[in-house]
Amino acid sequence: MSTQPGVDTSVVGERRHLTNLAYRLLGSLAEAEDAVQETYTRWYAMSPREQAAIAAPGAWLTTVAGRICLDVLGSARARRESYVGAWIPEPLPDRAEWAGGDDPADRITLDESVSMAFLVVLESMTPAERVAFVLHDVFRYPFAEIAEIIGRTPAACRQLATSARRRVSAARAPAAPSAGQAGLVRHFKEAWEARDIEALVGLLDPDAAMVADGGGLVGTVLHPVVGAEEIAAYLIHIADKAPGLRLLERSVNGRPGLVAQFTGVTVTVAAFEFDGDRVARIWAVRNPEKLRAWTATTGPGGAIL
C-alpha cells in the first residue's frame, strides 16, 4: 500500500505486522492479504474525525484484523471440508527467493511460528483457540485485548490458549539439530535422484507419513502415504515417471525443504518435519494457487507428488 499525501504513515506502517499476524492465523498468504486489505478499507472508510478519536490506531487495526481472521477461519472450516484431498498451509520461500518482486514490507517473518509443522497443528484448533493462542503466545498480546477480539472473557481466552498449547506440545516431535536438518534434506534429495530406495528408507522414520495437496487442480495422492518403505517406493515411482524433474534445496517456511521444478516452473514445494535424525513428515504442496510466491509462471506440469 503506497503512502499518499495526508495518509498517516504510522497506520500504513502497521501493514507488515498485520500481514504476519493474518498469515499465522489463516495459513494462507492470499487470505491474509485479503484480510489486511479489508482492515485498511474499514479504517479509511471512517471520517478524519473518527480516525482522530482512536487513541491507538495500531491496536484498532490489530483488533479489526483479528476479528476478520476469526470470521474467515469459521467459514474456512466448511470450505476445507469440501476441499479435494488434504489442505496444507501455503508454503513460503526465503526472503531472497520471493518471486514477482513483492514489496519487502509485505513479506512474512520466517521463524518457528511459521514452520509447516507448527501451522499444521494450528489447523487442528478451533478458530477461537487459534486466535487466542497466536495472539498471546506468538505476538504477546494480553488476554484483556484478546477478549475484545474474540468476544469472550479474558479468563475464557486464557483457557483457549492453554488448550491450544496442549495441542502444540502433544504434536511436537523431537527435531534434529538445525545444523543437521539441511544435511538430512540433502541426503534425501540425493537418494531420491539416485533412485536409491534403500537409502530413502534409511532416512525415513518407520512410521513416517507424506501428505500432498493438489486442491483438485493437479494430479496427486488424495490420502496420506504412510510408512518408510511405502513412501520410498512411491517417490521412486514418481522419479521414473518424471525424468525431467529437477530437485532444488530451498528454505520452506524458514526450514530446509525441497522444490521440484519442471521445465523451469515450480510444481511442488516439500516441507519436512524431523524426529531425531530421520524424516517423520513430508508435506508436498502441488496446488498451483499456493505456489505463486515461488515462481512468476505457474503451471500444473511435472511430477505427481
Q: What is the DSSP string of 204-270?
A: EEEEEEEEEE-TTTS---SS-EESHHHHHHHHHHHHHH-TT-EEEEEEETTEEEEEEEETTEEEEEE
Alpha carbon distance 237, 303 (integer Å) = 10
Alpha carbon distance 136, 125 (integer Å) = 15
pLDDT in tens, 271-295: 999 998 999 999 999 999 999 989 7
Do the Cβ atoms of 23 and 114 come closer than 8 Å? yes
Alpha carbon distance 12, 186 (integer Å) = 41
Alpha carbon distance 18, 74 (integer Å) = 19
pTM for the full model? 0.88
Go through the chain and tell me how many residues it has. Answer: 305
Confidence grade of residue 106 (pLDDT, cut at 50, 70, 90): low
Instruction: Pull the grid cell for residue 101.
Output: 518482486
Say which range, 70-74, 173-177, 234-238, has the weakest mean pLDDT.
173-177
Q: With DSSP H G I counted as helix, E B as strand and the rest as coil, what are the percentages for the chain, rounded to 5?
A: 50, 15, 30
Alpha carbon distance 61, 57 (integer Å) = 6
pLDDT in tens, 43-101: 999 999 999 999 999 999 999 999 999 999 999 877 887 889 899 999 999 877 776 55
Alpha carbon distance 38, 79 (integer Å) = 20
Q: Taking the alpha carbons of 240, 244, 245, 247 in that order, is the dihedral positive or negative? A: positive
pLDDT in tens, 146-161: 999 999 999 999 999 9
